[in-house]
Each structure stands twice: as C-alpha cells, then as structure tokens.
Structure 1
Amino acid sequence: MTKNTGNPGRKPSMLDNFKPLLIDVAVPLGSYYLLKEALGLSTFAALAWSSVVPAVRTVWGLVRERRANALAALILVVNVVSLVLSFVSGDPRLMLAKDSGVSSTVALGILLSVRLGKPMMTEGMKPFLVKGDAAREAAWQRLMSGQAAGSAAFRRRERLFSVVWGLVLLAECVVRVVGAYTVPVDTMVWLGSVVLVVAMVIGFVVGGALAAGPMEEMLTAEAAADRAERPAVGAAA
C-alpha cells in the first residue's frame, strides 16, 4: 500500500492517481514526434528512445518501494525482452506491437494470479478502498481472512476485479496488434495511446461497477458493524 509519510491524513488527488498513466502515455507520445519530426531520427529510433521513460519509471518505482511488486516487475521484464527483440529485428511495427505484448503478458499474469488465489490487481485496488483508515483496514483483514459474515462474497468480488482487468487487457492487446500491422506507423503511435486510455477507462468503469463498488459497500458495512459492536461489548463488561 502506498505510504504518505509527509501527511498521513492526505488523500490522493485525481492527479496523483493518474500521474503514472499520464507519464507513460503523454511523455512517450510527445517524445516520439519530437525525436522524429524535430530531430530527424528514424521511425524506429524515435520509437525506441520514446520507450525509455516508462521503463525507467518502472525501475525507479521498484527501487523506491524497496519491495517486489509483481505487476510492476512483470511489466518491466516484458518491456525489456520486447525492446531487445525489436532492436534485433529493426522493425518499427514490431516496436509498436511490443506494447500489445506487454498487455497480453500482464493480462495472462493477472488471470493466472486469480487461478492461484492471489489476484494481482488487489494490491492496486486496496488503497482506494481502505483510504488509510484503521477501521477499514481491520475490516478488510476480517473480510479477507473469512472472519466476517460477508467474506465469501467479498473474496468473489476481489477475484472478479482482476478477471475484468485481465480480459480488458487481452482485448486491448488484440486491437493494438491488428493496428500495429495494418495502420500507418505515425498514426498508430497516437492511436495506440488512445486504445490504451479507452481500455483503462473500461477497466475502471466495469471493474468498479462489478467489483470495487460492491466491495467498498461491504467494507463500509463491516467497519460500521464493528464500531457498533464495540460499545455494546464495553457496556456488557
């Protein structure tokens, strides 16, 4: 869970939540056109250099957190392997298709994590539901451990959230692969970012409606029930 040592009570703003996405989309897109149009680099070279920032940001995130983040590590590995293959081939369309390779690998990793009983998307979802509140954190632990009445339903929704994201990313992969080999490269550079953003929006909306929203309601109810029970226990004592 993300820690905020400067101000524990501060809730992440909309900009804080979407800053990584803005960096991974806007910076490579702007870099590509700057390198290609202003500096005269080839299409392949511009694509290669514009891929550096997201990779560096992922590495820095892992170093800063000083702990393994399965999703971030998986994205980094796939990015590195895809970049190496792209450099070997020298094909700009393969460079574009590598992004879909990242999506498909991450999607399969997410779906596999659900199968193994450790949904990968939970780590990213939990801070938004717990909101740094101790009572909600305790309620989360009870629901996840099976100690609360709604634990089974809560865990089903938790798994469903990752399933939704896995399927959305697989669909995004198919669209981007088709686009990489059928749409002009210069067009696909920005269109690929549009496809990614649309996929993210779909993931948030559908995942929120089917999983995160109901989970938040269950979490709130469990925290409220615990608070109501404590005075009763104290009075009985």
Structure 2
Amino acid sequence: MSRSKSQSRSKGAVGDGKGPHPLVQSLMPLVVDAGIPLAMYYVLSDGFGLSEVAALAWSSVVPALRTVWSLVGRSGVNGLALLMLVVNAVGLATSTMTGDPRLMLAKDSVTSSAIGISMIVSVFLGKPLMTAGLKPFVTKGGPDGEAAWDRLMAASAPFRRAERRFSLIWGTVLLSECVVKAIGAYTIPVHTMVWLGTVLTLVAILLAMLLGGGSCADPMEKMVKAEVERAADTAPGDAGTAASAAPALGAAG
C-alpha cells in the first residue's frame, strides 16, 4: 500500500505525461538558436538578395533577442546566457566591420567552445552545469525522487560519478563540434557552411544525448527508482516496529 501511494505521488508530481520532456525542454534553446537563423539566412540571401554578411547578421538577431529575454526573465543572472550574448555581440560587430562572412561563421564555433569549456570547468568546480536539466529527468520531478537523489548524492560514489560524467560528455562533444565548425568556416563555401553548421550542431546534440543518456542518465534513473522503492519498503517496517514497541513499554511501566 505504501509503495503504491509513493508511486502515485511521484506520478502526480510529474503530470499526465503531456508536458515536455525536462531534458528536451532544457535543450530546446539550442535547437531554436540553430533552426531559426538557418531559415532566416536563406530567405534573406536567396529570397531578398542580401549579401552573405547582411544575411548572417540579421539571422543572428533572433537568438540574441532570445538570450536577452532569458536574462531579463530570470531573477538571477544566467552566466552562460550572458557569455553567449557577449560572444555573439563581439563576433557580430567584428565581422560586420571587416565584412568577412567567414569570421561571422567562426563566431558560432567560439560560442560552442565557450559553452563546452564552461561545462567541463563546472565539473571540476563541483557544480556540473548539465545537472539542472538532468535532475528533473532522473527524478521525474516528484518529491520522492528528489529525496532519493539527495540521498544518493550523499552516499553513492557511482551516482556522483555519473552526474559529473554527464556534463563532461556534453562539454567534450560541444568542444569537438567547435573545432570542426571552425575548420569548416575557413575551408567550405559560406553558403554551404551555413546549413552544414546547423547539421553539425544537431548531430552534436543528438550524440551527446545518446552518450550521456546511455552511460549516465539511464543508470541514474534506475538507481533513483530503486532508492525510492527501498525507502517505501522501509517505511512500513519502521512504523510496525514502533507500534509493537509501545505495548511492551506500557507493560514494563
């Protein structure tokens, strides 16, 4: 009975399953930042005849506005979003002044490298950046799952290693993507590299999700589930022990 109630509470906390996947929701800005600029570039360059530099510049407006909105909409300062905004602003200003579309493409690799390096450094600082998206997925957003997460973080070395490894995987993949895109920016025609850069970004995201999910998120989810069930099985036993001890204490008195 206790286990079923515990599972019901956890399911209720998550919702009816119609909401977006927590990890997908946390990664959606990356997809939006890649997809919308791609469409805008080809519409502006092929449809309206803008130069490569102008089309690239205007296609960078939407991601910049989204980043500004995310900064304004939060109570605290999002360091990663602020870093992305600064890198994009500096890269946009520099490439516009020089009139070099390849430099404008290269700024995207700088953004990816900054994010990747930040993720890797955060692991060694003890505050993995990807935990914010990982935890809701692993715990399913329920109080029992979050309590199990806290207990495992305190007592399970394999669980802590998996949490750190998840951010390391993401950081390494994004850093590798940065190197490939930087090389492509100066060796591949600009018109081709615009869509190829987006493809590389999506491939990097899918690869990181596959590697991080299989080696980290899925095992952690199973560990949390087992810990929730263990706690649910332990609770009735503790209550029964206390109840059986009460008459004995009364008789002794």
TM-score with structure 2 setting the length: 0.83
Query: Which residue of structure 2 lines up, in the alignment, with residue 9 of structure 1?
Result: 15
Show the counterpart of 2:103. Answer: 94
In structure 2, C-alpha distance between the alignment counterparts of 1:35 and 1:99, rounded to whole Å: 19
CA contact (8 A) 1:136 1:223 kept: yes
Between structure 1 and structure 2, the one with the greater Rg is: 2
Structure 1 unmatched runs, 5+: 1-6
> 1:79/1:117 Cα in 2 relative to 1: closer, same or farther (>3 Å)?
same
Give the distance between the partners of 1:109 and 1:49, measured in 2 at CA: 27
Distance 2:151 2:80 in 1: 25
Instruction: Quickly say closer, same or farther: Cα 1:83–1:70, change in 2 above 3 A.
Output: same
Worse-superposed segment, 54-63 or 80-89 = 80-89
Report the alpha carbon displacement of residue 64 of structure 1 after superposing the two structures with TM.
2.3
Equivalent residue, structure 1, for 2:139: 130
Match 1:226 to one of 219, 222, 231: 231
Q: Confirm whether residue 188 of structure 1 aligns to residue 193 of structure 2.
A: yes
Matches within 5 A, 1:176-215: 176-215=181-220
Q: Determine the C-alpha separation between the residues in 1 that align with 2:89 and 2:139.
A: 34
Paired positions, count: 227
TM-score, structure 1 normalization: 0.89
SS in 1 for 2:76: coil
The match for 1:23 is: 32
Specify the alignment match of 2:163 in structure 1: 158
Are residue 106 (structure 1) and residue 115 (structure 2) matched? yes
Identity value in percent? 52
2:84 is equivalent to residue 75 of structure 1: yes
Q: Is the 8 A contact 1:71 1:120 kept in 2?
A: no
Matches within 5 A, 1:24-63: 24-63=33-72
- Structure 2 residue aligned with 1:143, among 145, 152, 162? 152
Amino acid at match of 1:233: D
1:115 aligns with 2:105: no
Question: Residues 166-177 of structure 1: matches in 2 within 5 Å?
Answer: 166-177=171-182
Cα RMSD after superposing both structures: 2.0
Unaligned runs of 5+ in 2: 1-12, 243-253
| Displaced runs of 4 or more, over 4 A | none
- Shift of the 140–194 alpha-carbon distance from structure 1 to 2, 3 Å rule, reads same
Which stretch shows the higher mean deviation, 128-137 or 174-183? 128-137
Work out the CA distance in 2 between the residues paired with 1:181 and 1:35.
Answer: 22
Kindly provide the CA deviation profile for residues 74-121 of structure 1, in whole angstroms up to 9, marking residues without a partner as x: 322322232232223221001001110001111111111111111111
Higher RCO, Cα 8 Å, sep 6+: 2
- Contact 1:29–1:189 (CA under 8 A) maintained in structure 2: yes
